[in-house]
Amino acid sequence: MKRIIHWVKSLTFGLILSSLGFSVSGNTWIQELVCEYHANPVGIDVQKPRLSWKIFSDQKNVMQSAYEIRVADSPANLNRKNRLIWESGKVNSSQSVNVEYQGPKIEPMQRVYWQVRVWDNQNKATKWSEPAYWEMGLTQSELWTASWITMENEKEMEGSKPSHYLRKEFSTSKKINSARVYVSALGLYELYLNGKKVGDELFTPGWTSYKNRIQYQTYDVTSMLKSENTLGAILGDGWFRGNIGFRNQRDYYGDKLALIAQLHITYSDGTTETVGTDESWKATTGPIIFSDIYNGETYDARLEMQGWATTSFDDSNWGTVAKLDHPKDILIAPQGVPVKAVEEISPIEILTTPKGETVFDMGQNMVGWVRLKVKGNRGDAVTLKFAEVLDKEGNFYIENLRAAKATDVYILKGDGEEIYEPRFTFHGFRYVKIEDFPGTPQLDNITGVVIYSDMEPTGTFACSEPLINQLQHNIQWGQKGNFLDVPTDCPQRDERLGWTGDAQVFVSTSTFNFNVASFFTKWMKDVAADQGPDGKVNHVVPDVLNGAGGSAAWADAAIIIPWQMYLAYGDKRMLEVQYPSMVGWVNYMKNRAGDDYLWIGDTHYGDWLAFATTRSDYPGATTEKDLIATAYYAQSTKTLADIAQILGKTDDAEKYSNLSEKVKEAFINEFVTPAGRLVSHTQTAYSLALAFNLLPENLIPKAAEYLAGDVDKFKHLTTGFVGTPLLCKTLSNHGYEDLAFMLLNRKEYPSWLYPVTQGATTIWERWDGQKPDGTFQNAGMNSFNHYAYGAIGEWLYNYVAGIQIDSDNPGYKHFFLAPHPGGGLTHAKAEFKSMYGNIKSDWKVEGDQMVYDVTIPANTTATVTLPAASSEKILLNDSPLKNDAQQNDEGVTLKLGSGEYRFSYLM
């Protein structure tokens, strides 16, 4: 306590001296060490992992001038120079994000520890950070000595088959130093050791391009082992052989479930032992008699096998397993984010519908399942059905789920209070209909379990308009619900696929809300794995549509998403890894377009679900698909040229830059009149042409005027999936921010806030999923949790709040803070946790007084623009502004180093 008081006094005195202009040597330290975006990852296969750290300081203007990293095989050996595996030495560099390990190869299954210290811009060294570690997995396929095993004599039946239960007993005879188990499956698995579930990950091994890549997980089970042990596993159909895609397609990847597990034990005397899956394992079925991602799970508790994964269990009536001839060289360590049960929600109300249905209202459209608490007689069957909305009359509505049954059934064993939650299914829902419940259900009989990829939350946005705050809430919940190992379009109906177009249009917003670097690292490798030999990129990834693909804006995810990862995280390696895929896609477009550089005549989704109506006085907007395709051809080719330049591929950079200019010229000749009017006179067409810089310089103002005129004419947006992410930022970038704010604030259909006024808690697939009269859009395609239109979130963060990336200094090494009060808002605040630390942009207007609070993390700089300001009227931290500020049309601009600052001035 004395040390804390002394530190606080020192800090206070230091801040006083600093405010008086004295130079103060403060405290700077290192925290939040990560390797490949993960804290202390276990079981990776990246041979040269990248290391990142954050610098914290009680001083302003702190920059890293050098760093030193050291790596050893134990924390103790980090302090023994002759026992180090690698030391970087002092490296004169400000890089603190994604610094590549340059030491000798780390052996498979080896754990190494690392530390870092840095020198600041006063050449003062910090203390060494606390140690962190990473551990390699089975990095060579020949290390897999275990076999794929599958249950023999599985009963033939239509539809979902009962889940498999597998077990193996083994002994350990010596003191254990460490133990790791490496596990994967064809299907989904849960692993058990001595009766306890191993790990907290769900839906393992995850969904990948199973024909090319199957993930395995690594678990530290040292503390779980005893002298007598039992390994057990449950296998479910999952994506591998369950219903997936359209038309109730089953067995897309195969018709046999299988397990591969390999336990490595290291004893204290240095000897090792391996226990793996082989023909000595036993298998049977059990209480999970039906499990399917779309259709739900049926669990018969009367069939439970108490202690089935412990050594006291009698498995004499279990069946045998057989080895399955399946490749092991496609097993990979995961690079994404595991799916977990992250949150729990209690229902807010129990409703009795006009039809007499008993329905729980969770208060939030969520993804996951419910935990059921029930007491009844043996054989009682409780049915749980899931829906996103109630219909106009207040009845349970499931037509929009199409063929997905979304039903869980629990059959009681009649043994007091029973608790049930499913394993191998998930639902998208707000409402839960309960049938045949013994007794009268109470609110505490169910609990909502929210599952999604356990991404680190990084962004918040709030402002003075509650409806916009709810919109932000809906955007984030839409992302949580649909970032479930892959970026799905929707979580509730018989689809739930990794649509590339949805991910592409939303990716920039997604990087604000959560750290999605590793999430997209994993998924983009599946994009490349499923890509056709001609470069065609599939509509959905992993591909379950038999190679269907090649749609403009959808397939361009192959280029746009890696580029956004580079901008948001400074991830150059993703550009390197995905480069062949990007080149393949541009070459595909080039071949389809031919020598006239116009991509015309092919089938595309176009501006999907753009506003449309049959009213003659209120027309919809259809943007020519050839225009969209050619626009994306130009944009992706230009982006590829920029990427090639960054990667030092100068010949490619020149080639693709020239190609993009030719496509641009063809676009102008084909789709633009000499007066600047586009052949498709729509908001989407103008937004694309302006945002992608596809117009001659002299026609840009006129095209922007056409765009603004269309918005002003209709007083609402007319855009679909392609145009919506670009609309507001294109308007505001060209001087029409009043119209952009008008669109943001609009509460009537079509608008972002219309669903909010209808009680939405996630983003809808359609602008009018629920019509003003309470009826619904076409049930064949009407999701109430579909994140694409949530792409407006990017504009909230980087225009309204003003946090903007500097593409010349990616990853927020340098960034811009340029807030834009407007639209009747009196305050807005955004915080973003970058790879360097927390960024804050918080403005408030009271009358003519502007107060603006900003935070700039250590080892970064920011250029701040104070709107409608005069430098002589600005107070910085309650003192007159003395910095080198520049007066311009926007206001006052100045460059600042790290620290917390408050600006106040009369506008």
Active site residues: 495, 765
The answer to whether the beta carbons of residues 463 and 433 sit under 8 Å apart is no
Rounded Cα–Cα distance for residues 141 and 143 (Å): 5
Q: Give the other-Cβ count within 10 Å of 541's Cβ.
A: 30
| Helix 683-691 and helix 700-714, axial crossing angle in degrees, nearest 10 | 150
234's enclosing H/E stretch is strand 228-236
229's enclosing H/E stretch is strand 228-236
Rounded Cα–Cα distance for residues 541 and 553 (Å): 14
Q: How far is CA 28 from CA 10, 55, 213, 862, in A?
A: 14, 7, 43, 20
Calculate the CA 826 to chain-centre distance.
31
Rounded Cα–Cα distance for residues 62 and 352 (Å): 61
Q: 905, exposed or middle or buried, with CB in 10 Å at 0-12, 13-18, 19+?
A: buried
Q: Which amino acid is at 333?
A: A
Rounded Cα–Cα distance for residues 729 and 792 (Å): 9
The residue among 442, 427, 436 whose CA lies nearest residue 347 is 442
Calculate the CA 492 to chain-centre distance.
18
111's enclosing H/E stretch is strand 111-120
Q: Give the other-Cβ count within 10 Å of 15's Cβ.
A: 15
Rounded Cα–Cα distance for residues 134 and 137 (Å): 10
Q: What proportions of the chain, in percent to the nearest 5, are helix, strand and coil? A: 25, 30, 40
The residue among 666, 588, 656 whose CA lies nearest residue 627 is 666
Q: What is the DSSP string of 472-530?
A: HHHHHHHHHHHEESEE-S-SSSS----BHHHHHHHHHHHHHHB--HHHHHHHHHHHHHH
Q: What sign has the CA pseudo-torsion 422, 426, 427, 431? A: positive
| Helix 572-593 and helix 517-530, axial crossing angle in degrees, nearest 10 | 40
Q: 552, exposed or middle or buried, with CB in 10 Å at 0-12, 13-18, 19+?
A: buried
Rounded Cα–Cα distance for residues 533 and 832 (Å): 40
Rounded Cα–Cα distance for residues 9 and 716 (Å): 57
> Do the bridges between strand 296-300 and strand 407-411 make them parallel or antiparallel, or are there none, so unpaired?
parallel
- Residue 450 pairs in a beta bridge with 343, 368
The answer to whether the beta carbons of residues 355 and 396 sit under 8 Å apart is yes
Residue 344: phi, psi to the nearest 5?
-130, 145
Structure tokens at 294: 């779309």
Rounded Cα–Cα distance for residues 186 and 575 (Å): 31
Task: Tell whether omega for the bond before 41 is within 30 degrees of 0, i.e. cis.
Answer: no
Question: DSSP assignment, residue 398?
Answer: -
The answer to whether the beta carbons of residues 640 and 680 sit under 8 Å apart is no
Rounded Cα–Cα distance for residues 645 and 640 (Å): 9
Rounded Cα–Cα distance for residues 361 and 759 (Å): 13
Rounded Cα–Cα distance for residues 689 and 696 (Å): 10
